[in-house]
Amino acid sequence: MDFPYIVEPRRDTGLYNAKLGIWLFLASEVMLFGALFSAYVLLRVGADPGMWPHGWLNVYIGTANTIVLITSSITTVMAWVSCKQRQFGRFKFFHALTILLAMTFVCIKSYEYHDKFTHYEITLASGKFADGHLVEKSKDFDLAKKTGRVTIHGYEVEHEVELMDMQRPEARNIHREEITIPATDIKKMERYGPWHHTYLAIYFTLTGLHAFHVICGALVIGFLWGPGSRMWKTDPERFTNRIEVSGLFWHFVDLVWIFLFPVLYLL
């Protein structure tokens, strides 16, 4: 059975099936991310005064990842243009670049996640707070049994609120050093995971969902670059449509990041 409008556009809509399908899908995606942006607004406005974090993420790493994603958008467009110009070799080149850039994005994001999961806020028995990245835990370290010690590379502050705004001028000049803290002096010790703060909860949710989209998009583009590209020999027009549709999804992923970057890293 042959399905109509797989390659040629319908006369009334001017669209082939997949094109209408991807735009309907992207419309649903707008609402998905829109709901999470709405949650972000509510969490941010609902935070106690001075308790919404600023400067918890590395702006330079975020900028690098933004440039990586924008570059992948132009390589995606160029891959489609190459198909339209019937230059299969150029298509292969540009989409190989897209896949490499997608992998680079995920690697950088993984590094950022790792950085957060090795970052600790330690509530000390004295009432002060120690904050920094884990250097080492002694073999006998057990917070429940109060044995051993932990070493972090960071600093101490009097109040938790001082850990929130890392963009303020004083925060930029904080001297970080290795601090060893015995378990007996620790009241509470928590990683910068999603459970640590509502900011991190929405950060991991938004960027995790976005990274999932990047991975899925890269898998589809990888398929079209590899085994799926066999269609080029039998039906180049249909294959070009597939590249266009996958490209539309990829640009949407880029679009979401364009808003995620300032909202999570800069504001």
Partner 1 sequence: MNNSMTMNGGHSPGEVHSVRGYIFVFIALLAGTILTVWASFIQFGSREINIAVALVIASVKAFLVVAYFMHLISERKMIYLVLGFTAIFFAGLMGLTIWSLSPNSLIHIQNVP
Q: How far apart are CA 234 and CA 236, in angstroms?
A: 6
Choose the stretch contacting partner 1; rule: CB under 8 A; options: 11-19, 97-105, 109-117, 182-190: 11-19
Which element (helix H / strand E) includes 188?
Answer: strand 186-191
Per CB under 8 A, does 15 bind partner 1? yes
**Cα-only R_g, the chain:** 24
Q: Is residue 32 at the binding interface for partner 1, with CB under 8 A as the rule? A: no
Please give the residues from 78 up to 137 whose contact with partner 1 meets the rule CB under 8 A: 78, 81, 84-85
The residues, any chain, with a CB within 8 Å of residue 99's CB and separated by 6 or more, are 218, 221, 222, 225
CB of 22 to partner 1, least distance (A): 10
Q: Name the residue type at position 202.
A: I
How far from each other are the two terminal CA atoms of the chain, in whole angstroms? 54
CA distance 28 to 11: 25
103 forms bridges with which residues in the sheet?
none
Closer residue to partner 1, CB minimum distance, 81 or 134:
81
Q: Which is nearer to partner 1, 15 or 125 (CB)?
A: 15
- String marking each residue 43-72 x if it binds partner 1 according to CB under 8 A: --x-------------x---x--xx--xx-
Backbone phi, then psi, for 209, in 5-degree steps?
-65, -40
Where along the sequence are the contacts to partner 1 (CB under 8 A)? Answer: 7-9, 13-16, 19-20, 23-24, 27, 30-31, 34-35, 37-38, 41-42, 45, 59, 63, 66-67, 70-71, 73-74, 76-78, 81, 84-85, 237, 240-241, 244, 247-248, 251-252, 254-255, 258-259, 261-263, 266-267
